[in-house]
């Protein structure tokens, strides 16, 4: 075969390939238009017209070429809920230690008992402190008697004003010593600093304890504080007193209502999270410190258009969909926000009432009238009055 015949054959094959590509590849006609190859677009349109004519002459039940399937654009909201795992602790929790060292002579409560603030829970040996109180009382009595004598002598000018002042000072010092001795005696009784429930007692009667010995742990669990962490993107959305719900991991059927009680003042630079503290009422006393909770917060969220995955097309400039407005197709660029199993959330220039083409994409032309497939094989063009109301 001569060279010119081979060249002509190659040109024919190349032209046929361009026409086929322009017919079946989405966005191909826009590319050909930019390249100035209008003849390929014309050939494609001519082939479509011939196919339409042939289909129109075929048997009943087959719709004409160019028909498409459309679906309305739905609205979906994302980022409207945050769920985090947190750890609960008592509203108030105190480890009780004695003020002084000594031997425990009496334990007045049992493990798990409820106590009130100021209620004694244990006592230490107090013989030495009792003796100190009695001695201080004697000192006070002696100082009082001395002051009385000096005042009597002062009335007859036998004592001086300096002696009266000195006697009064001795009496006040003796009274202060008595108060100090009584305080030391009082502190031999170990009392509950808060109201709550006593934990397991780690000591017994007869044990010698110091100021660092753990006598008991008291938890006020009328309310439970839950510490949890949220991503920094939600830091500006969380507010004090914001309502929330908490579910114990061990009791998933019980939901407790609470509020945001405290917010940390900075983002953790390592985890990029913000510490948040929730406050949950515990009326039935079923919750305990240390329990794990699933905390849920509700936010307004972000609203986006939701389309069928089949509606998403790709071109040289990125993703787009064929939106139908006033009965005509309009190529609308979109930004994909989130892919789901049955929908894709996109951000684009849409108005209320828009629909998108999900099938028959290759039959759609920008600005052309849309021929919609109907059940039973028929088809119809969409007049503008048949579309959903725009802007409603």
The two three-digit tokens of residue 175, written as one number:
């009274």
Cα–Cα distance, 248 to 292 (Å, whole number): 6
Rounded to whole angstroms, the Cα distance separating 229 from 266 reads 12
Whole-angstrom distance, CA of residue 128 vs CA of residue 105 = 14
Number of Cβ within a 10 Å radius of residue 365: 18
* 111 touches 122 (CB < 8 A): no
CATH number for 126-187 (one of 1.10.287, 1.20.120, 3.10.450, 3.90.1690): it is 1.10.287
First to last CA, the chain: 68
* pTM metric for this prediction: 0.60
User: Of the candidates 317, 357, 337, which has an alpha carbon nearest to the alpha carbon of residue 75?
Assistant: 337
Angle in degrees, CA 288, 291, 297, rounded to 5: 110
What would the two tokens of residue 273 be? 């999270």
CB 68 within 8 A of CB 382: no
User: Digits of tens for pLDDT over the chain (392 positions)?
Assistant: 566 667 777 777 777 776 665 665 555 556 555 666 555 555 555 555 444 444 443 333 333 336 888 888 888 887 778 899 999 999 999 999 999 999 999 999 999 999 999 999 999 999 999 999 999 999 999 999 999 998 888 877 777 888 889 999 999 999 999 999 999 999 999 999 999 999 999 999 999 999 999 999 999 999 999 999 999 988 888 999 999 999 999 888 899 999 999 999 999 999 999 999 999 999 888 999 999 999 999 887 778 888 999 899 998 889 999 888 888 888 899 999 888 888 898 998 887 778 898 888 888 888 888 888 754 444 444 443 333 333 33
Could you tell me the residue ranges of all domains in the chain? 3-54, 67-78+303-386, 81-122+194-299, 126-187
Could you name the CATH architecture of 81-122+194-299? Answer: Beta Barrel (2.40)
Nearest to 121 by CA among 181, 59, 42, 205: 205
**Comparing 67-78+303-386 with 81-122+194-299, is the CATH topology the same?**
no
The architecture of the domain spanning 67-78+303-386 is: Beta Barrel (2.40)
Helices (H), 88-242: 127-155, 161-186
Eight-class DSSP state of 233: G
């Amino acid at each position: 075969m001569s060279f010119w015949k081979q060249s002509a054959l190659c040109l024919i094959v190349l032209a046929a390939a361009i026409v086929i590509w322009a017919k079946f590849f989405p966005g191909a006609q826009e590319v050909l238009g930019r390249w100035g190859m209008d003849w390929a677009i014309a050939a494609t349109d001519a082939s479509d017209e011939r196919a339409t004519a042939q289909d129109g002459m075929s048997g009943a039940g087959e719709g004409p070429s160019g028909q498409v399937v459309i679906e309305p654009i739905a609205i979906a909201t994302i980022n409207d809920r945050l769920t985090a795992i947190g750890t609960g602790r008592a509203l108030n929790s105190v480890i009780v230690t004695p003020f002084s060292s000594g031997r425990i002579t009496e334990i007045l409560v049992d493990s798990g008992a409820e106590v009130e603030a100021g209620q004694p829970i244990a006592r230490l040996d107090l013989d030495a402190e009792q003796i100190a109180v009695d001695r201080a009382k004697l000192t006070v009595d002696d100082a009082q008697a001395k002051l009385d004598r000096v005042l009597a002598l002062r009335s007859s000018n036998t004592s001086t004003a300096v002696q009266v002042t000195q006697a009064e000072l001795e009496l006040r010092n003796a009274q202060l010593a008595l108060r100090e001795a009584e305080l030391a005696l009082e502190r031999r009784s170990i009392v509950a600093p808060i109201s709550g429930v006593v934990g397991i007692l780690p000591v017994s009667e007869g044990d010698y304890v110091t100021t660092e010995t753990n006598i008991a742990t008291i938890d006020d669990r009328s309310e439970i504080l839950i510490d949890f962490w949220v991503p920094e993107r939600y830091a500006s959305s969380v507010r004090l007193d914001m309502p929330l719900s908490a579910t114990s991991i061990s009791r998933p059927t019980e939901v407790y209502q609470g509020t945001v009680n405290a917010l940390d003042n900075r983002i953790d630079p390592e985890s990029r999270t913000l510490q948040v503290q929730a406050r949950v009422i515990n009326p039935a006393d079923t919750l305990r410190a240390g329990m794990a909770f699933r905390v849920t917060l509700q936010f307004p969220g972000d609203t986006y258009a939701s389309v069928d995955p089949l509606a998403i097309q790709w071109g040289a400039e990125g993703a787009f969909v064929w939106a139908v407005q006033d009965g005509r197709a309009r190529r609308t660029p979109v930004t994909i926000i989130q892919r789901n199993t049955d929908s894709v959330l996109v951000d684009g220039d849409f108005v209320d009432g828009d629909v998108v083409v999900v099938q028959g994409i290759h039959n759609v032309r920008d600005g052309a009238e849309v021929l919609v497939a109907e059940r039973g094989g028929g088809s119809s063009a969409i007049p503008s009055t048949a579309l959903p109301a725009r802007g409603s």
